[in-house]
Structure 1
Amino acid sequence: MKMTKLVSMSTIAATFLSGLVLAASPVQAASWTARKPSEIQVAKGQKKVYTIQ
């Protein structure tokens, strides 16, 4: 019984805290601009690496 209560309280706390983190994150979608195909083309043999900020 105590373990179930501990797990449920931990789950509730984690859900609440993750909501706070997401709400505090700034969104900058308005400043996003699409890149041209020539800017994102990959030469044969190169690895594709994407950095999302």
Structure 2
Amino acid sequence: MFETLSDKKLQDAYQKAVELVLDREFIKLLEAEIINRGLKGHLDTRMDESSHQ
């Protein structure tokens, strides 16, 4: 789904989605692609905290 996005644009999209508190399912799709690309260190740990509220 996100294959055409560069790593940088994917990371930017993820950060912006978290910042704007977009739909959790959309953020999970972005997270899955980040993990798939081996970029897990770029995930925002604040999402884990906010998902428990």
What TM-score, normalized to structure 2?
0.30
If you compute each CA radius of gyration, which structure gives the higher value, 1 or 2? 1
What TM-score, normalized to structure 1?
0.30
